[in-house]
Chain A
Amino acid sequence: MMSTPQPADRPVIITSLLVITTLFAFISRAFDLHQAWLLLVGVGIGYVLMHALFGFSGGWRSFVRERRSQGIRAQIGLLALTSLLFFPVLGGMFGVTGTSAALAPVGMSVLIGAFLFGIGMQLGGGCGSGTLFTVGWGQIDMLLALSFFIVGATLGSMHLPWWLTLPSLGKISVIQSLGWLPALFVQFSVLGLLYFIVLQLERVRHGSAQALITNSNTSVTHRLIFGGWPLWWAIVALAILNLATLLLAGHPWSITFAFALWGAKIWSALGGDLTAYSFWASGYQVKALNSSVLADVTSLMDFGIILGSMLAAALAGKFAPEGRLKPRRIATAVLGGLLMGYGARLAFGCNIGGLLAGISSGSLHGWLWLVMGFMGSWLGVRMRAWIQQEGRTA
C-alpha cells in the first residue's frame, strides 16, 4: 500500500534550521570552528538516518521474525565500508595523528552488556542511533525510551567498576596484531561470509532476496531533500560522516557516553553525590562533568543527530506522527530504555560506539558485541511478540 506523500512542515523546517544555525554560530564563538563542524556532522548523520530510515533494531527484527536480511546486509555493508576507511587511517598509512580506535576489553562486561542491550533495543523500539533519530522524528514513545535510556546509562556508569572486575581478555586490536592490511583482509572475509549466510537464509525461506540497490521514479534531487533514500546511499553517507568524526574528534562516532553524562549532571543538579562513584572521579569523565555539556563531542553530536532528523522529518512531512501511548507501549519503552542504557555502559557503547566503532576500528570487543547483541535481540523479539500477543488477548 502506497502512503500519500505529506507536504513539508514549514514551521518545523524553519525552526530546526534556525536552531542549527544559531547553535553552530554559538559553538564557533564559544569554542571553535572545529567543535562546530562536529555539530554539523551530527546533523548530517541524523538527516541520513531519518531519510533512509536506517536502523539496527528493525533490520535484526525482520531477520529474526521473517528471515528478511536487507537491513542486516545494509549494516554489513556499512561495517565493510567504514572498515575500509578506518583501517588505513588507524594503521598509520596516511600519517594522520590524533586518531584512536574504539578499543575496549573483551570480557564479561561486554558479553552481558551487549546481551542486555540487544533485549532492550527490541523492547524499546530503537537502538542507540535509532532512539535519537526517532526522537528527532517526534515520536513520543521514543522520548520516553530516551529518558529511561539516560537513567539506565547513569546507573550503568555507577556500577561499571564492579563489572570490570569480572574476567576479561583485555583489549585486542586486530590492526595492532596483524597490521592494517592483513587485518582488513580478514575483516572483509568474515563480513563477506556473514553477508553470504544471511542472504542464503533469506533465499531459502523466500526463494529470492530483497535488493539493497533499488530504483525509483522519483528524481535524485527530490529524494535527497524530501526523503525515501535507498539504503546504499545511507551506507556511503554514514561511512563518510563516521570518517569525518574520526578525523575531527579523534575517535569514531559514539552516542551513549553522553546519556550517562546527562544523567550524571541531572543527578548532580538534584543534589546527588557522584564522588562515591569512581567512574565519575577521574579522567575524561570528571572533566566532562565539570564542563559545559556543549564541550563534550558525543553530546554535541547527539544534539546534532536529533536536529538533523527533525529537519529531515519536517521536509518529508512526517514530523510528530500520530499515535497514542498505550500502557503496554509505555512499559516496553521504559524497560527497553533502561536495559539499553545499562547494557550500553557495560558494553562500552551501543550498536554505534560498541558494535560499529569497535568492529570498524579493529577491536575484537566489537565482534563479541555483535554476537551477544544479536542473541539478546533474538530474545527481545520473542518477548516483544509475547507482550503484544498478551495485549491482544487481554
Chain B
Amino acid sequence: MRHRNRIIVGSAFGLAAIAVAIDHTRHSVPEAQPAAITQDQSVPSSTPCALDSNPCALGGSNPCSLGRTSSPCSL
C-alpha cells in the first residue's frame, strides 16, 4: 500500500514539475522596466525580473485594482 502511494505521489509531483517547466518556457522572463514606467515605486529595485511582488499597497498606487470596483488585495 505504501509503495503504491509513493508511486501516486511521485507521479503527481512529476506531472506538476513538467507543467511548471512547460509554463516557464512558454513565458519569457519579463525584462527589467525603466524606473519611469514602473507601476509601483515601492517595489524593491533589487527584483527587476520578478513580477511586481507587491500586489497590495497600503496607500498610493494599487496594482491589483479591479478598476471600477474595490481592489482584491491580500491576493
List A residues at the B interface (Cβ < 8 Å).
19, 30-32, 34-35, 90, 97-105, 138, 140, 143, 160-161, 164-165, 168, 170-171, 173, 176, 249-251, 254, 257, 265-266, 278-279, 282-285, 287-288, 290-298, 303, 306, 319-324, 348-349, 353-354, 357-358, 363, 365
Given contacts A176-B58, A284-B64, A357-B74, contact A34 B50 (CB under 8 A): yes
CB contacts between A and B, total, < 8 Å: 167
Given contacts A101-B58, A102-B56, A297-B53, contact A291 B74 (CB under 8 A): no
- Nearest first, the 10 closest Cβ-Cβ pairs linking A and B are A250-B54, A348-B74, A257-B75, A102-B74, A104-B74, A284-B55, A292-B24, A320-B6, A138-B9, A297-B53
Given contacts A161-B69, A170-B70, A365-B74, 20 further A-B contacts (CB under 8 A): A30-B49, A32-B48, A97-B42, A103-B74, A104-B73, A143-B9, A173-B58, A249-B54, A250-B53, A279-B66, A282-B65, A283-B65, A283-B66, A284-B75, A287-B30, A292-B26, A298-B75, A306-B13, A321-B2, A348-B72
A-B contact pairs, 7 of them (CB 8 A): A32-B46, A32-B50, A251-B54, A278-B67, A284-B52, A287-B51, A365-B74
| Chain B positions within 8 Å of A99 at CB level | 42
A102 touches B73 (CB 8 A): yes
Given contacts A296-B51, A348-B73, contact A138 B64 (CB under 8 A): no
Query: Is B44 positioned at the interface, with any CB of A under 8 Å from its CB?
Result: yes
Given contacts A283-B66, A291-B27, contact A353 B9 (CB under 8 A): no
Bound state CA distance, A354 and B73, in angstroms? 10
Q: B17-61: contact bitstring with A at CB < 8 Å (1 yes, 0 no)?
A: 101100110110110000000000011101111111111111000
Q: Choose among B13, B47, B56 the residue that contacts A101 (Cβ–Cβ < 8 A).
A: B56
Distance in angstroms from A96 CB to nearest chain B CB is: 10
B53 touches A292 (CB 8 A): no
| Chain A positions within 8 Å of B19 at CB level | 266
| Chain B positions within 8 Å of A295 at CB level | 27, 29-30, 49-51
| Chain B positions within 8 Å of A97 at CB level | 42
Given contacts A160-B72, A295-B30, contact A323 B1 (CB under 8 A): yes
Is the interface on chain B under 10, 10 to 19, 20 to 34, or 35 or more residues?
Answer: 35 or more
Distance in angstroms from B39 CB to nearest chain A CB is: 9
Q: Choose among B27, B47, B52, B74 the residue that contacts A349 (Cβ–Cβ < 8 A).
A: B74
B72 touches A292 (CB 8 A): no
List B residues at the A interface (Cβ < 8 Å).
1-2, 5-6, 8-9, 12-13, 17, 19-20, 23-24, 26-27, 29-30, 42-44, 46-58, 62-67, 69-75
Bound state CA distance, A308 and B34, in angstroms? 36
| Chain A positions within 8 Å of B69 at CB level | 161, 164-165
Distance in angstroms from A178 CB to nearest chain B CB is: 14
Most buried by B among A97, A251, A324, A353: A251
Distance in angstroms from B73 CB to nearest chain A CB is: 5
Give A35's nearest chain B residue, CB to CB: B50
| Chain B positions within 8 Å of A319 at CB level | 6
Q: Choose among B12, B53, B71 the residue that contacts A143 (Cβ–Cβ < 8 A).
A: B12
B56 touches A100 (CB 8 A): yes
B49 touches A250 (CB 8 A): no
Bound state CA distance, A312 and B65, in angstroms? 38
| Chain B positions within 8 Å of A105 at CB level | 70
| Chain B positions within 8 Å of A320 at CB level | 2, 5-6, 9
Bound state CA distance, A279 and B70, in angstroms? 11
Q: Choose among A90, A140, A160, A322 the residue that contacts B9 (Cβ–Cβ < 8 A).
A: A140
Bound state CA distance, A149 and B13, in angstroms? 16
A293 touches B24 (CB 8 A): yes
B74 touches A353 (CB 8 A): yes
